[in-house]
Every structure is written in structure tokens, then in C-alpha cells.
Amino acid sequence: MCDVIWCKKEVDGSPCETVNYLDPFCFWNWEGTINCAECRTVYYIHMIQGHMYKGPEERPGEEPDTSPLYADKPLEGYRNYMFATEGRTRPFECMPRSFLLGEADMVKFSIRGKPVRGWRPQPESAGIAGSFPYHWDIQNLSPDVWEEYQEKIRKGEVSDW
């Protein structure tokens, strides 16, 4: 293993098979415990210059010092855990100021009334910087916003500039 932890922990009779990505600027030189994003098994790792000097060793019963930013499941269609999924992955809020740390602001429309990609279906846990990897199909992914958009078009609230 290297700077991913490919978790093989037995869960309900089959291996967990989750790839936990240890992002380079955080883990290049790092020692501590980290959880698997899916089964939450806690591992001890000691990384020196990007190499896994020790670990991953299971540390049952211990609280993790940190979490991966991102993890996915290549054997299950690359199902994934985004950053800032509570209890599973580390937050990536990019929040520069404390007063902005409250509820994620779900901006739906730009000042020209065009839909922008800042609202659900992103789970709230994805935080304001959350983003989704698949084709941006508003009509299917977010029918309520689509409806609202059609309404805006009808009312003439959408402009080019």
C-alpha cells in the first residue's frame, strides 16, 4: 500500500474494498490515525516523503486523528464519498471567514436568472464547495429547480445580460 489505503476489512463476510485517497500535501510527511471512509476502521499510518513507513495497522477502539478527503469504490461503479461527508471524510470548506461558516448557501440562479450549479442535489454535507462529477442534467437531477427555471423564463426574469 502507498498513499491510498485500499481497505480490505471484512464487513458482513466480504471485504470493504474502499480506496481512501491520502492527498499529497496533507500526508507527504504525516503520522497518526485515519478512518476508512466506508467501514470506519481506524488505521495507524506513518508516512515519510510520501512513503508508507509504517502501517496501515488497525487500531480498534481508537478515535481517528483525521479522515481522507475523498474515497471511492472501484468495484461498485466507483461509488464515492465526497469530502466533508460527516464522520467519513475531511471537510474542504475553503471558507475564508468565520461568519461564512454557517449554512451552505444554495444559490440557484445567477443575477441574470440562469441556473448555476450551487444547489442541491448536492448533499448539504458537501458544503459550499461541493461539486458533482456527472453530466449536469438539471431537469432530471433537480426537477424542482428546473420547474423554478421554467417559471422564471415564463415571467421573463431570465436575461442574457
Partner 1 sequence: MAQEKRDVEINSIQDSLDMLTPEIRPWPVTPPPSAEEVSTQVYTKRKAEDFLGWVEDNVKFEKSFGKAEALAGLKVLDIGLWRLGHKFAASMLAEAGAEVVCIEPPGGDPLRQLTPFGREEYMLADQETGEKCGIEFIAEMVNQYAITLDVDTEEGQQVFRELAANADVVIEALPPGYADERGIGYRHLKDLNPGLIYAWTGIRGQWGPDKDRLSKHGQWEIEPFACASNAWIHSTGYPQDQLPRGKGGDPTRAGVWIADYVAGEQVAVNIMAALYWREEFSGEGQFIEVTGAEALMDITDFDMTWYGFNKSIKARTGAWDPNLNQYEWNPCKDGYMMIGGQSDRLWYRIGMCIERDYPQFGRLIHEDPYLKEMGARNALHALIKTYTLTTRWLRDINRVQAEEALLEYEIAAGPVLFVDEVCEFPHFKYRPWIYNCESDYGTFLYPTSPNAYQFDTPHRLKWVGRRLGKDNGEIYSKWVGYGPTRLAELKTEGVI
Pairing label, strands 10-11, 14-15: antiparallel
Q: Which residue has the cell 491520502?
A: 22
Return the number of the residue (18 or 142) whose C-beta is nearest Zn ion. Answer: 18
CB of 83 to partner 1, least distance (A): 6
Q: Which is nearer to partner 1, 12 or 157 (CB)?
A: 157
> 40 or 91, CB closer to partner 1?
91
Tell me how far, at minimum, the Cβ of 53 lies from partner 1, in Å: 12
| CB 105, CB 116: distance < 8 Å | no
Question: Residue 47: enclosing H or E segment and its boundaries?
Answer: strand 42-48
Write out the residues near partner 1 by the rule CB under 8 A: 2-4, 19, 21-28, 30, 49-51, 65-66, 69-70, 72, 74, 77-78, 80, 82-83, 90-97, 100, 105, 107, 110-111, 116, 118, 129, 131-135
What's the min distance (Å) between Cβ of 76 and Zn ion?
13
* Nearer to Zn ion among residue 27 and residue 81 (C-beta): 81
Residue type, 3: D
7 binds Zn ion (CB under 5 A): yes
Residue 67 near residue 37 (C-beta atoms within 8 A): yes
18 near 71, Cβ under 8 Å?
yes
User: Does 39 contact Zn ion by CB under 5 A?
Assistant: yes
Using CB under 5 A, which residues numbered 70 to 109 contact Zn ion? none
Name residues whose C-beta falls within 8 Å of residue 46's C-beta, 6 or more positions apart in sequence.
30, 31, 52, 53, 54, 55
Q: Which of 59, 83, 55 is nearest to 71 (CA)?
A: 83
Residues that bind Zn ion (CB under 5 A): 7, 9, 16, 18, 36, 38-39
